[in-house]
Structure 1
């Protein structure tokens, strides 16, 4: 490969039902073929879609990343998302604070976390300055190193605001209670806010629980998460998913704690409450498979 330093970006769009809008977003990405979509994961119940996109880094010198095809592709996709989706008119069973809700960067191949954090800051400046959307930086992209979960709590991200277990897009404050790192302090209710950050690779794993008792599953999710005294590096959230509930989990240290440990712990906690649990599923490719998929697609191109 000509370029050995790669970055992956997970772009979360608060839309999983409007096929025309998603097709428009993907066409915008298609104008930047050197950035490759390695995985698309739409979810109708959550009304949310995640795109995993990979490309190479362009360096001015060894100390600074100055560009990447990812930057142009992400801007085009975000711009199209804001044109085709109105946050204030939709809702879903997954939290949301923006049309483009979350953009996370992760190093692949020979790149470093510092390098992809530089790219994250460039993308944040593009969205805040050119699209006039408030941007909150987190982890390696944030000078203060704030955790994504902490920023989300400051915006009541985890509290359902519509029909008990749904999140609506029209409940954001007109002025952010915390200062954005890029973009205006005032919030456009049709666009919302976006979190942008950089971290080591994160795996997402969802486990269906066969009950409609939301409070009970929330208790299990809290007990399995690191914050609740459970497994290290695990974050978990109970969400309504169709006619059942899911524990949506994130593995912040996937080489240390993975699906086997989390599946076993959820099954144990659920059995104490007399509940049955289905086999969980990953919502994205692994870090290694993502890299291989990009290499194969880039070589073909």
Structure 2
């Protein structure tokens, strides 16, 4: 059976009533499984993960978009995480009997529908219409506040929707992509400048790990800072490699890792890879995990 994963991110992580109204769009929906949802107060962001039959997922997603743009007002939104819209990003990831080409089709279907709601939409990653838009960080640069001028530039004409910023709802980015691991490392300091410096060393654009994107963020409630990372290809840059590089860079400032955070789902292979490294198990395989055998039965 065809299965696709969709991980929409909404710019609301504090108001429980609004969060529940958005998440309700995915609850008890035929052929759609609500895997997880994670609101974050510091980021002021909600990450929802669903898996299901493509048409059913798309229908539920678009309902959630309608709810989110009614409830969220970007004119008053503040949060640590970069964002440009009420419905900030909508990536599609192939799971079973679908491929990247199919996910590009789903991305275009959703982008067109959101554009019809009066919201400018940009396609990124594998769905990007040109190489300049493949990288989400480049698309989102300037964030909500900067997009009012950015959108006027010819090179930033939206793929769908109006060529003017939606004042209330902002802009949205939609993608087809490989499974991304959102992995955060929290440090025992409140110095955001240090987190920024470490992030610049770790991320690919700064000369760091090839498949890592990273930014430094403050965690005001925890009185810590965070190196927030997206590992865009865990097969080529492992989770443990990213963690060890953050640890190494933190040492130069006399800092240590308090804990780490996993936002959303992670493939078993990525965990096996890190377990093998830290436990020094030679040839560890997922076939040695009991639960894997039970699932396959």
- TM value normalised by structure 2: 0.84
Distance (whole Å) between structure 1 residues aligned to residue 60 and residue 39 of structure 2 = 19
Structure 2: gaps (5+ residues): 270-297
- Residue 64 (structure 2) aligns with: 77
Counterpart in the other structure of 1:297 = none
2:148 counterpart (164, 173, 176) = 173
Change (3 A) 1:152 1:171: closer
Aligned to 1:60: none
Q: Aligned residue for 1:149?
A: 137
- The residue number in structure 1 matching 2:187 is 209
Residue 254 in structure 1 maps to residue 241 in structure 2 = no
CA pair 170-225 structure 1, distance change in 2 beyond 3 A: closer
Structure 2 CA distance for aligned equivalents of residues 269 and 186 of structure 1: 42
Are the aligned partners of 1:35 and 1:69 in contact in 2 as well (CA < 8 Å)? yes
User: Displacement of 1:258 after TM fit?
Assistant: 2.5
Deviations 1:30-76 (A, max 9, x none): 3733222111111011110100111123xxxxxxxxxx111101100
Q: What are the Cα deviations for residues 125-165 of structure 1, in whole angstroms up to 9, with x where unaligned?
A: 01001x11000111211232422222123xx23xxxxxxxx
Residue pair 1:174, 1:189 contacting (<8 A) in 2 also:
no
**1:61 paired residue number:** none
Report the equivalent of 1:37. Answer: 34
In proportion to residue count, which structure has more helix? 2
The corresponding residue for 1:267 is: 247
The alpha-carbon distance between structure 1 residues 174 and 115, as it changes in their structure 2 partners (threshold 3 A), is: same
Q: 1:288 to 1:111 in 2, by over 3 A?
A: farther
Select which of 177, 182, 190 maps to 2:168.
Answer: 190
1:224 corresponding residue in structure 2: 202
| 8 A contact 2:83–2:140 mirrored in 1 | no
Question: 1:279-290 residue pairs with structure 2 within 5 A?
Answer: 279-287=259-267
Identify the residue that residue 235 of structure 1 maps to in structure 2: 213
1:118 and 1:28 map into 2 onto residues whose CA distance is 22
Match of 1:9 among 3, 6, 10: 6
Deviations 1:78-128 (A, max 9, x none): 000011111112211111110001111111123211111110110000100
Separation (CA, whole Å) in 1 of partners of 2:150 and 2:257: 42
**Using the alignment, how far apart are the partners of 1:198 and 1:80 within structure 2?**
23
CA separation in 2, counterparts of 1:38 and 1:241? 26
In the other structure, the counterpart of 1:53 is 50
How many residue pairs get aligned? The number is: 262
Three-state SS of the structure 2 residue aligned to 1:107 is strand
CA distance in 2, matches of 1:250, 1:180: 24
Q: How far did 1:255 drift?
A: 1.7
Q: Once the 2 structures are TM-superposed, how far is the Cα of residue 189 of structure 1 from its aligned partner?
A: 1.2
The TM-score with structure 1 as length reference comes to: 0.82
Q: Distance in 2 between matches of 1:263 and 1:249?
A: 10
Aligned match of 2:125: 139
Alpha-carbon distance in 2 for matches of 1:286, 1:109: 16
Q: Separation in 1 of the partners of 2:150 and 2:129?
A: 23
Does residue 23 in structure 1 map to residue 20 in structure 2? yes
Deviation at 1:174, TM superposition (A): 6.5
Structure 1: unaligned runs, 5 residues or longer: 58-67, 158-168, 290-301
Within the candidate set 77, 91, 96, 2:78 is matched to: 91
SS at match of 1:246: strand
Tell me how large the CA RMSD over aligned residues is: 1.7
